[in-house]
Structure 1
Amino acid sequence: MGIGTGVVLIVLGAILEFAWTGNIPYVDDDVLGTILMVAGVLTIVLVIIVNAQRSRTKNVQETRYRGQ
């Protein structure tokens, strides 16, 4: 998952929360929209945290030669 996935979740949640006038059986549309928006925000936050941790790590490559 990336930042794009979080943005898509936020957009879908906002559509269900504010613009959708239909009715999905057995599901409250407003609650589903809120859940999707919160999931999108959490996804973006987690991606930023993981990327920040990756940038702090160092990869060291050690090459050893046999002396002759």
Structure 2
Amino acid sequence: MGIGGCIILIGVGAIVTFATDWHVSGVNLPLAGLIMMAVGLIGLVSYVSILKRRRVEPPSPGAPVIEIDDRSRPYR
């Protein structure tokens, strides 16, 4: 579930909780909407934290490049 799916889940949960007055026997719709919003929020936070960890900054252009020449090493 990506960022878009999490945002949609939060939106649908908010609509079910606050904007409807349906009554379904056996289902507490406001609670179901709150659960959907919580799951969407947890998914969004976890997705963003994983995305933040994956982002690796490239070295600056002025950084020296170290190359190891394997030909100068003796064989063991």
The answer to whether the superposition gives a TM-score over 0.5 is yes
Give the total of aligned pairs: 58
* Structure 2, unpaired ranges of 5+: 59-76
* Structure 1, unpaired ranges of 5+: 59-68
Calculate the TM-score normalised by the size of structure 1: 0.76
- Which one has a bigger Cα radius of gyration? 2
Higher relative contact order (CA 8 A, sep 6+): 1
SS in 2 for 1:12: helix
Identical residues among aligned pairs (%): 31
Indicate whether 1:42 and 2:42 are aligned.
Answer: yes
SS in 1 for 2:55: helix
1:30 equivalent in structure 2: 30
Calculate the TM-score normalised by the size of structure 2: 0.69
> Which 4+ residue blocks in structure 1 deviate beyond 4 angstroms?
none
